């Protein structure tokens, strides 16, 4: 979210307490949650932004980095390391912080090589090559329906990534001066959109890892991307682990005489045979009709609870038949 101020997003002052941050986030989350604003893309985008802001400001370490480096906080460690190495190099070679002279006893070719190694992007210092560094991992959120969680799905994710600055080729310097484009950081922020696969069986709280889709590493491999999953509540199906629970309305006549009813599932409706004289509240277990187990071929079960529906708006003939039934049942007891 380049240009966004996390404090302003949450309506806070920079010296806000942890309690104030949590209260502001909860208030905005209730207002902007997709369940409260169905179909409102603006509210959905704003919800994602306040989640990203809260993730940083609620973490003491991340907040300190953000306060110091702003939207480049994720690269605080790399920037501070680069500053330390440069300061050590300058001190060891005779640079004076006050602008003093540089003392060097070698030849001009060696001097050129040192500056090339220090500022030319090859990552050397103190006579040795710096080790390649793996890029930082990234996290974002993804919301899916129960049906999507059942089958697996895809999402297009927009990420802010830091890429090597083209002006200075990632060195942070041009002619031994800090690059004005990246302000000496060596990287610039860009928005990248990637397609990610969300596997079948995910649940709220699942964390899906997408290898190599995190931040680029200085000379090393990219970090990973982690998706924090939320599954939206379903209107008629309740999920408990990998089992699904549904309440099925059964007409009184079907419960008494037997018949067939339709049971909702994430993949469509299933026919369920109801035996005669089925009692209200009886639960039928449909093995293997629940949610998939992530990474396995097995599935949970679906438990269908009978909810007998009494007839309404009875005709005179129907009332008479019920009276006759009552007399028969009464006589048989």
Beta bridge partners of residue 141, listed in sequence order: 228
Instruction: For residues 21 and 166, give the distance between their C-alpha atoms in angstroms, rounded to a whole number.
Output: 37
Residues in the chain: 333
> Quick one: average pLDDT of 33-45?
83
For the chain, give the mean pLDDT.
81
pLDDT of 286 over the 50 cut: yes
Question: 237 Cβ partners below 8 Å, 6+ apart?
Answer: 146, 244, 245, 246, 264, 265, 266
pLDDT digits (tens, 9 = 90+) for 170-189: 777 877 778 877 777 777 77
* pLDDT tens-digit series, residues 104-136: 444 434 444 444 444 444 333 334 445 677 888
- The pair phi, psi for residue 2, each rounded to 5°, is -60, 135
CA distance 73 to 53: 12
pLDDT at 276 over 90: yes
How would residue 163 be classed by pLDDT, with cut points 50, 70 and 90?
Answer: confident
List, as own/partner pairs, every contact residues 103-112 make where C-beta atoms lie below 8 angstroms and the sequence separation is at least 24, other chains included.
none
pTM higher than 0.75, yes or no? Answer: no
Residue where the block lists tokens 């000379």: 219
Question: CA 158 to CA 45: how far, in whole Å?
Answer: 11
Q: What is the pLDDT of residue 177?
A: 76
What are residue 194's DSSP bridge partners? 157
Q: Which of 151, 138, 152 shows the shortest CA–CA distance to 73?
A: 138
| pLDDT exceeds cutoff 70 at 211 | yes
Please state the three-class secondary structure of 85-128 as a single string: HHHHHHHHHCCCCCCCCCCCCCCHHHHHHHHHHHHCCCCEECCE
The pLDDT value given to residue 333: 47
CA–CA gap between residue 149 and residue 223 (Å, rounded): 26
Phi and psi angles of residue 316, each rounded to the nearest 5 degrees, phi first? -60, -40
Ranked by mean pLDDT, the top range of 24-33, 94-103, 125-134 is 24-33
The domains of the chain are located at 237-332
Which CATH homologous superfamily contains domain 237-332? Urease metallochaperone UreE, N-terminal domain (2.60.260.20)
> What is the C-alpha to C-alpha distance for residues 74 and 140, in angstroms, rounded to an integer?
14
């Amino acid at each position: 979210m380049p240009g966004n101020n996390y404090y302003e997003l949450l309506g806070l002052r920079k010296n806000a307490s942890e309690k104030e941050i949590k209260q502001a986030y909860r208030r905005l989350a209730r207002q902007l949650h997709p369940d409260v604003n169905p179909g409102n893309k603006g509210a959905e985008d704003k919800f994602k932004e306040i989640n990203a802001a809260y993730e940083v400001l609620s973490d003491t370490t991340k907040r300190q980095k953000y306060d110091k480096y702003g939207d480049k906080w994720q690269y605080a460690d790399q920037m501070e390391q680069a500053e330390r190495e440069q300061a050590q190099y300058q001190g060891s070679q005779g640079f004076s912080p006050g602008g003093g002279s540089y003392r060097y006893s070698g030849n001009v070719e060696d001097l050129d090589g040192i500056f090339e190694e220090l500022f030319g992007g090859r990552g050397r210092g103190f006579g040795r090559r710096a080790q390649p560094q793996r890029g930082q991992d990234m996290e974002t959120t993804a919301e899916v329906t129960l049906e999507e969680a059942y089958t697996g799905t895809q999402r297009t994710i927009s990420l802010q990534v830091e890429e090597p600055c083209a002006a200075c080729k990632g060195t942070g310097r041009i002619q031994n001066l800090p690059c004005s484009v990246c302000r000496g950081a060596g990287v610039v922020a860009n928005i990248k959109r990637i397609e990610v696969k969300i596997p079948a069986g995910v649940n709220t709280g699942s964390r899906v890892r997408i290898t190599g889709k995190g931040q680029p590493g200085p000379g090393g491999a990219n970090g990973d991307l982690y998706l924090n999953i939320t599954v939206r509540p379903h209107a008629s199906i309740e999920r408990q682990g990998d089992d699904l629970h549904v309440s099925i309305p059964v007409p009184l006549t079907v419960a008494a005489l037997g018949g067939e009813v339709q049971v909702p599932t994430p993949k469509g409706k299933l026919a369920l045979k109801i035996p005669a004289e089925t009692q209200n509240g009886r639960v039928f277990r449909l093995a293997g009709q629940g949610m998939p187990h992530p990474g396995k071929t097995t599935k949970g079960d679906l438990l269908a609870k009978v909810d007998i529906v009494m007839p309404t708006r009875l005709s005179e003939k129907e009332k008479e038949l019920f009276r006759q039934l009552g007399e028969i049942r009464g006589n048989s007891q």
